[in-house]
Amino acid sequence: MSTGSEGSDINKKAYQESFSDGPVVIEKADEVESGRLGGFYGNLMSMFHGETRGIERVPEEEKTQTSIYTAGTMWLSANMVIATFSLGALSYSLFGLDFGTSVLVIFFFSVLGALPVAFFSVFGAKFGLRQMILSRFLVGNVGMRIFAFINVVACVGWGAVNIMSSAQLLHIVNNGALPPWAGCLILVVCTILVTFFGYNVIHTYEKWSWIPNFVCFIAIIARLSIAHVFKAGVQNDAGEWVTWGSGRTFAGDVLSFGGTVFGFAAGWTTYAADYTTYMRKDSSSVKIFMGVLIGLCFPLIFTLTLGAAAVTGIKTDETYSNLYDEYSVGGLVYAILVEKSLHGFGQFLCVLLALSTVCNNIPNMYSIALGAQALWSPFSKVPRVVWTILGNAATLAICIPAYYKFAAVVDNFMNLIGYYLAIYDAICLTEHFVFRKGFSGYNIEDYADLKKVNPGWAGAFAFCCGAAGVVVGMNQTWYMGVLAQKIGDYGGDIGFELAAGFTFIGYMIARPLEKKHFGR
């Protein structure tokens, strides 16, 4: 481990990146970061097999992960959580959809959102690069910085949204003895403890943490079955219970809920490769893709559907309805597991389910550091663990006041996430398949030389085109686009669909011109 003047020399050598073209020499990450934080940090990381590497490329000799199961369970645990259940519950409570329609929307939009996450996970094993650094090839240097900034903001937003639903549960258990702010603080501290040690510890934690979450959800299924509160239909304007909806307003609700589900499922796209960078280069791409896809789709579809089923109880059971009105999804879960149900053991399950949020926040708080380091070269000098702590602090500052407006915050945030992810996917997939014509089109050794990577002006232009598509297609409480207004009496959100289409057209126009002018 380097110290003193030697560590200083490594620092100067290791980080020379700027917005201007030029080489970016990044090496000996473990020495650089350990040198900054001192011997205690290095020894602590060594003791727990922790990671000190930041955004540097992982060399092949350090890529020791071989288990496809581990790659899949990373996302199995991260999505089998109370936040996913909460999103499914919005199907009826916010969008007024019947259960059958909700299941179809959940299935198709979950798969649509999971596909790019599984695809970009393959890149991490092939190239050993983090998703944002990899994005220098896909959206370009300028475009990467745009998405890195949004990604940092989104990670904080994800953390806040996830914590709110769990804080509701922790607050209601034991008659409100734990105030909401304290519940948020507990979850933040737990997240820091795991993310502090990096890649290996995160994968180990996520490998097993889905099991208690799954047990809690099985208990919810059992109690719903015993309580006989499930109601598949919704009431139409005539007051009749119908199983399948129809009409323009119904179509708008389907599209809006679909956009919310897509935003949640695709939310891991901008850091998908972060969690396969230590997998061997010769790992099967098909196995990685299918492992991650199944690891994502199973918990998404299962947990979202369970949330959609559970919320139907507020139609027929007064206890469910009252607790949901007062405490949102946390109150609903409490009503299912505790009230006239499992009592003390139900409260224990509520606490377990509340702590499941840690599984979901870990990837956000790990990748927020990598996104910040990629954003601007001086930020790369700040160690990963410092960014993780700062990200958690920002999350705590946001989730406490937002706690009291959970449903509106979740809906608006998920849709906004879906918009920018659709733009990112459209640019990356177009660059990969149309202009690079597959994996053979990359000279990955150029990742640190800004004179050789995609400059990114076409990506920036395509981003603006996609933003225009969002403006005309979005349906939010604070703004409704002109095309969204045409869908039903209350509008329908087609923002992410139009964002992807506009982005693709813009990039197909701008990228050939960029290549002609810059030659790369």
Q: What is the pLDDT along the chain (520 residues), one digit of tens a residue?
A: 334 444 334 333 433 443 444 444 444 444 444 344 445 556 665 665 666 777 888 988 889 888 898 889 999 999 999 989 999 999 998 888 989 999 999 999 999 999 999 999 999 999 999 999 999 999 999 999 999 998 898 888 888 878 887 888 888 887 778 888 888 899 999 998 888 778 888 888 888 899 999 999 999 999 998 988 777 766 655 555 666 666 677 888 899 899 989 989 998 999 899 999 999 999 999 999 999 999 999 999 999 999 999 999 888 889 999 999 888 888 899 999 998 788 889 999 999 999 988 998 898 888 888 889 888 878 888 888 888 889 989 888 888 777 666 555 665 666 677 899 999 999 999 999 999 999 999 998 888 888 888 899 999 999 999 999 999 998 887 788 999 888 866 778 899 999 999 999 999 999 999 999 888 8
Reading the block at residue 223, the tokens are 């109690």
> How far is residue 302 from each of residues 33, 113, 438, measured CA to CA in Å?
41, 15, 33
Angle of the 68-79 helix axis to the 357-375 helix axis, nearest 10: 110
pLDDT at 519: 83
pLDDT at 238: 55
Domain residue ranges of the chain, discontinuous segments joined by +: 1-47, 48-518
pLDDT digits (tens, 9 = 90+) for 115-151: 999 999 999 999 999 999 999 999 999 999 999 998 8
Fold of 48-518: Hydantoin permease (1.10.4160)
pLDDT at 413: 67
pLDDT at 343: 82
Task: Pick the closest to residue 96 from 492, 485, 478, 473 (CA basis).
Answer: 492
> How far is residue 10 from each of residues 27, 48, 335, 383, 479, measured CA to CA in Å?
8, 25, 57, 14, 50
What beta strand segments (E) does 34-98 contain? none
pLDDT at 468: 96
pLDDT at 183: 87
CA distance linking residue 263 with residue 247, whole number of Å? 25
Q: At residue 242, what are phi and psi to the nearest 5 degrees?
A: -120, 145
> How far is residue 395 from each of residues 78, 352, 398, measured CA to CA in Å?
17, 21, 5
pLDDT at 4: 41
